[in-house]
A and B are shown apart, each in its own frame.
Chain A
Amino acid sequence: MHGLLGLLLLAGALALGAGAAQAHPHVWVTATSEVIYAADGSITGVRHAWTFDDMFSTYALQGIESKTKNVYSHEELAPLAQTNVESLKEFGFFTFAKADGKKEKFQDPVDYFLEYKDSVLTLHFTLPLKTPVKPKELALEVFDPSFFVDFKLGDKDPVRLVGAPAACKVSLQRPNDGTVSAQKLGEQNFLNGDNSNFGAMFANKITVQCP
């Protein structure tokens, strides 16, 4: 009888496994980012360019009018860009920054627009930091904790430093090269009953060091 109970539990576990693994991406983003520096060498914000996959791009363009078929100007896409950045706020713009280990917050995005090229959409936006920081090490992660969106850093030169002191260096950790830190997906996330950090193991970790 205990064995059977176990079997039932297992069935339940499989079903619930659902929860943890539910996440399967429906949107793919190829990201390139710029870390922006002020003249005094402090970091003021991050500028992203996110290119969506063609299925999602087409979906997002549904119902958007344009003068010429399949050509969309920045103006025609402005309302959609507005929607994008407004909706992204709920998800913290999928951007998580730590300056010398301390979490940093972002303000609402500025200079945002959408670009339509080669049948995909690219969202450009700048996230200013609440307060500029001048850390020795900036850790920046771009990922969706629920893994509905799969973020991937662009292949070529995905992270650039704009106006950084010469000594600053960028290093990257991509999700699939086995270097993603295990702590991210440690038992804590699971024990606290919150699956929502599932996507952390797919995080793109950017580290900027300025000695």
Chain B
Amino acid sequence: MSSRATFRQDSLQVFAHRLAICILAVAAVLTLDGIMHVLMAQTPFGGPRPGAEPQVGGIVGWILAKQSEFYREMSATIRATKSEGHAVWTLLAISFAYGIFHAAGPGHGKAVISSYLVANQETARRGIVLSFASALMQSLVAVLIVGIGAWLLNATAKSMCGAEKVIEIASYALIAAFGARLVWTKGGGFIRALQRPQLTPALALATAATHDHAGHGHDHHHHEHSHVHAQAHAHVAHHDHGHDHEDHGHDHAQASDHDHVHDEHCGHSHGPLPSELAGPGGWRRGFGAIFAVGLRPCSGAILVLVFALAQGLFWAGVAATFVMGLGTAITVAAIAVIAVSAKDLARRISGGGEGGGALFMRGVEFAAAGLVLLFGVGLLFGYLAAERVTCF
């Protein structure tokens, strides 16, 4: 019994540690964000010093200019489609280009998706799928809002914009929640990486001991998923992730013992990583990301759809919206692949599962998780004010 008490204390300590690290991480990310702003002040606008000439040039300026150009051509092209049907091809080409540039510029979507991919050790292929799925969902939501709001209900712009605002807030809240969960999870992984050398066995026991009461049923379900799956894909894990497999094996040992279950909470995505990746649990999480990001439609798409509807060419607007989404998806996927590749490279070079390397990787994942949280919270509280829907 006394040993049990010790375990409990240990696990409390772990909890406290993790909490502390979570807080530290948020602080670190905030600092990082500050640095980003400095970087941003320097790069695209040519010189941070007061008195320097502003250059709305550079890549960002160019992207902005291109976007505006394509966007402004859309209304004229939709009008033209009314009299000459073939103009619709021009419309689609413009929409596609707009989509590509729109995503290459700003947008929280790709930031959230890339951070999520890095945090969760996803594969590049999965990154591409997620990018396309979330862009598709974004287009779909825009079409639904206008299709139901404007076409079926003949609602005013004001009420549609109101609906858009609600959806937007929901989306941001979901991103924040999603990010919080990632931070929590990755905080666990990070702590473990920190403590692994001395503490691992005690830690594993401790966690098992405290949690075999709480939330057993629910987690159990979870567990079955990943467990079954882990077996099925064990060989995959071997090939691709030799290093991680080491901690992986460790977690597995626990997995055969049902007490491990609780570990889902924190270790979840860190331990059984490679195996879970392609598994149902992994996909479910992926859909969480798609949903959170894709829920918020692009204001541009809504405007185009309403405009097309008013011209009696709703179908052209719908086509333009989906092509726009395709363009967006390509850019987001490209950025996602870069993010994932950079991380893979980092893992390979840092020596993956061993000592400092593992710590480094867990740290990177943790930071990426923090970014997702930061984006969510920032968007929710209007920190990134420019991304808010403006109704008037």
Binding site for B on A (CB under 8 A): 1, 4-5, 7-9, 11-28, 53-56, 58-64, 80, 83-84, 87-88, 91, 146-150, 178, 180, 182-191, 193-196, 198, 201-202
Contact with A along B356-373 (1 / 0, CB 8 A): 000010001000000100
Cβ contacts under 8 Å, A178 to chain B: 53
In this complex, what residue of B is CB-closest to A17? B40
Q: How far is the CA of A198 from the CA of B54 in the complex (A)?
A: 11
- B303 touching A191 by the CB < 8 A rule? no
Q: How far is the CA of A54 from the CA of B50 in the complex (A)?
A: 38
- A185 touching B67 by the CB < 8 A rule? no
In this complex, what residue of B is CB-closest to A90? B392
- B392 touching A26 by the CB < 8 A rule? no
- A62 touching B150 by the CB < 8 A rule? yes
Task: Tell which of A12, A53, A63, A196 touches B385, judged by Cβ atoms closer than 8 Å.
Answer: A196
Number of interface residues of B (CB under 8 A): 78
Q: How far is the CA of A21 from the CA of B364 in the complex (A)?
A: 25
- Of the listed stretches B11-19, B106-114, B173-181, B255-263, chain A binds B106-114
B281 to chain A, nearest CB (A): 26
- A28 touching B72 by the CB < 8 A rule? yes
- A201 touching B54 by the CB < 8 A rule? yes
Task: Tell which of B160, B346, B371, B386 touches A4, judged by Cβ atoms closer than 8 Å.
Answer: B346
- A16 touching B111 by the CB < 8 A rule? yes
Cβ contacts under 8 Å, A80 to chain B: 156, 158
- A62 touching B71 by the CB < 8 A rule? no
Contact with A along B145-167 (1 / 0, CB 8 A): 00000100011111110000000
- Whether B300 sits at the interface, judged by CB under 8 Å, is yes
Cβ contacts under 8 Å, A8 to chain B: 118, 339, 342-343, 346, 364
Contact with A along B97-129 (1 / 0, CB 8 A): 000001001111011001100100000000000
Q: How far is the CA of A25 from the CA of B106 in the complex (A)?
A: 12
- A20 touching B40 by the CB < 8 A rule? yes
B258 to chain A, nearest CB (A): 37
- B40 touching A19 by the CB < 8 A rule? yes
- B53 touching A146 by the CB < 8 A rule? no
- Whether B38 sits at the interface, judged by CB under 8 Å, is yes
Contact with A along B29-44 (1 / 0, CB 8 A): 0001110111111001
Cβ contacts under 8 Å, A194 to chain B: 385
Residue among A184, A191, A193 facing the most chain B CB atoms (10 A cut-off): A193
- B75 touching A64 by the CB < 8 A rule? no
- B53 touching A63 by the CB < 8 A rule? no
A-B pairs with lowest CB-CB distance, top 8: A87-B392, A22-B106, A15-B111, A63-B156, A190-B41, A18-B106, A22-B386, A55-B75
